[in-house]
Amino acid sequence: MNKLFSNIKIKDLELKNRIVMAPMCMVASDDEGYANNWHEIHYASRAIGGTGLIIMEATAVESRGRIKNGDLGIWDDSHIEGLSKIVLSSKALGAKVGIQLAHAGRKCEVKSEDIIAPSPIAFDDSYATPEEMTIDDIKTVTNSFKEGARRANEAGFDTIEIHGAHGYLINEFLSPLTNKRTDYYGGSLENRARFLKEIIKEIKTVWPENKPIILRVSAEEYVEDGNHPEDLVDIINIVKDEGIDIIDVSSGGVVPARIDLYPGYQITFAEIIKKGTSLPVIAGGLVTEPDMAEEILKNNRADFIFLGRELLRNPYWPLEAAHKLNQDIEWPSSYRRAKF
């Protein structure tokens, strides 16, 4: 048995393989954040293709938390119905489904919104300068994450992912590059982790104990004074006992920075976090070949492999990967005549 196609169970989340569809913004919603038929078909096609876990795109817990117009929303109970249709169709086709709960913070590009951040620092010259969040703002957003988790559970999601990466609001609090606060949400690493810790605590009041929670992190900020993998180990160890079960390891996005991209460029970060936190990790980053995915798993460098653009190019990558690894897996009955 190839490890890529071995099952794994964390709490009540049982997956048929270790292939994870990374959350990728589709910008295909209307201006109010509602899901539509396009989203249902998009995700269902990856379920047909054999993906074990689909993590839906960054879904805003507040209207001002969108990255762009066209992002999905989960800030109102009326969003539940459309999201639940995606869950039902993809689960019926054999995948488990999660959703990434997100807030863009200073990287919100929706012109009609007043943007917020831990400190009033723009991402670059093309972005507006955000308002520094008050304590009341912090409480409001923390509650919005809790309500987003409640709605995600009502929609039937198997897991949620807290978006703490790519320079969005939670990441802005975590990074010394973007958090210049002098109160107890800034300064020390413990203080910078406080916002995330409070969000997890609030989510746990509404999210079922039997369903895991994933945290996505930017393990490397590619700037000397920014966070590095060892810093993320310390942050995760501060917050994990509040209820984090899996770490999804990405990098970058906090400030404009040069990144040396190559196949597997983030895998070492995942190894460091896996070893330093003793939590299962999802790793990826230009991993496109099944042999490479298998090597990462077999050498215990990660527990799952995420694919992003490769699954956009080829929704049936898992079926082809099984063939390349000489692994016999069940194909959708309607597609069996095409099986390799």
The pLDDT mean for the chain works out to: 98
Q: Is residue 268 part of a domain?
A: yes
Residue 221 neighbours by CB under 8 Å, 6+ apart: 175, 177, 227, 228, 251, 252, 254, 255, 257
Q: Is residue 153 part of a domain?
A: yes
Q: Indicate the pLDDT class of residue 289, thresholds 50, 70 and 90.
A: very high
Q: Indicate the pLDDT class of residue 154, thresholds 50, 70 and 90.
A: very high
Q: Is residue 271 part of a domain?
A: yes
The pTM score is: 0.98
| Phi-psi domain of 253 (left: phi exceeds 0; alpha: psi -120 through 50; beta: other) | left
**In the prediction, which pLDDT does 237 show?**
98
| 278 pLDDT above the threshold of 90 | yes
Q: What is the pLDDT of residues 43-74, one digit of tens each?
A: 999 999 999 999 999 999 999 999 999 999 99
Q: Is residue 335 part of a domain?
A: no
Q: Is residue 195 part of a domain?
A: yes
Give the start-end residues of each E strand in 80-211: 96-102, 116-117, 131-132, 159-164
**In the prediction, which pLDDT does 285 show?**
96
| 251 pLDDT above the threshold of 90 | yes
Give the total number of structural domains in the chain: 1
| 192 pLDDT above the threshold of 90 | yes
Q: For residue 75, how far is the Cα from the chain centroid? A: 17
Whole-angstrom Cα distance, residue 254 to residue 106? 10
Q: How far apart are the first and last CA of the chain?
A: 18
Q: Is residue 336 part of a domain?
A: no
Residue 306 neighbours by CB under 8 Å, 6+ apart: 20, 21, 22, 55, 248, 282, 283, 284, 287
Q: Is residue 190 part of a domain?
A: yes
Give the start-end residues of each E strand in the chain: 8-10, 13-15, 19-21, 53-60, 72-73, 96-102, 116-117, 131-132, 159-164, 213-218, 246-250, 281-283, 304-307
Q: What is the pLDDT of residues 193-231, one digit of tens each?
A: 999 999 999 999 999 999 999 999 999 999 999 999 999
**In the prediction, which pLDDT does 333 show?**
93
User: Can you tell me the mean pLDDT for 274-289?
Assistant: 98
**In the prediction, which pLDDT does 323 show?**
97
Task: Kindly report the CATH number assigned to the domain that includes residue 174.
Answer: 3.20.20.70
Whole-angstrom Cα distance, residue 97 to residue 53? 6
Tell me which residue range forms the domain holding 95.
3-329
| 1 pLDDT above the threshold of 90 | no
| 180 pLDDT above the threshold of 90 | yes
Q: Is residue 162 part of a domain?
A: yes
